[in-house]
Amino acid sequence: MYKRERLTILIIACLFVLFQLLMGHALASTKMPSFTLENVITGENVESKEFAGKSLLIIFFATWCPPCIEEIPTLIDLQNKYRDRQFSIVGLSVDQDGKKVVQKLIEKKKINYPVLMADNSVTRKFGGVYGIPTSFLVNSNGNVVKKYTGYVPRSVLIKDIEQIVQ
């Protein structure tokens, strides 16, 4: 009986690893969804095609989310570090209280990357955003290569960004 349990656990572990590899491969070939969203500062509509040819870190966040706020200094730093290498952070706010509360956060934290107001359509297009922060790393070909759920350490972001920037 003991050998059978070990074999079952081994098979399950192998299937799990295989599933993770296949999902990672499928995610790498997933095109970033197209969107048109309002820029929080300018009020102008921004289309996803305006980011064509750039690598992106798209972050769904809210002003009331402590891990989201904790990430901001890192995101500002990454925007400064990689902007000359065809890279941009793009913040997508899911705040229900409107853009004024988001504008205050941008001013207070001196956010240097574009921040757009997300809607239910864009969260669905990205496969459903069920928690925040949720981030998507997109390569210059417009393919989503990584999805992060929750706070992501700076070292992880740098390692992953370095793999896709030009």
Nearest Cα to Cα of residue 90 among 98, 25, 82:
82
Q: Is 101 helix (H, G, I), strand (E, B) or coil?
A: helix
Beta-bridge partner residues of 56 = 88, 138
* Phi/psi-derived region of residue 142, left when phi > 0, alpha when psi is between -120 and 50, beta in every other case: left
CA 4 to CA 21: how far, in whole Å?
26
Whole-angstrom Cα Rg for the chain: 18
Beta strands 55-61 and 143-149 are unpaired
CB 85 within 8 A of CB 165: yes
Alpha-carbon distances of 30 from 11, 36, 106, 143, rounded to whole Å: 28, 19, 30, 5
Q: Which amino acid is at 41?
A: I
Q: Is the pLDDT of residue 22 over 50?
A: no
Q: Is the pLDDT of residue 164 over 50?
A: yes
Share of the chain above pLDDT 70, in %: 83
Q: Between residues 18 and 76, which one has the greater pLDDT?
A: 76
Confidence category of residue 166, pLDDT binned at 50, 70, 90:
confident
- At 110-124, the pLDDT tens digits run 999 999 999 999 999
Structure-block tokens of residue 153 = 């350490």
32-164 under CATH 3.50.50.60, yes or no: no
Q: Where are the domains of the chain?
A: 1-31, 32-164
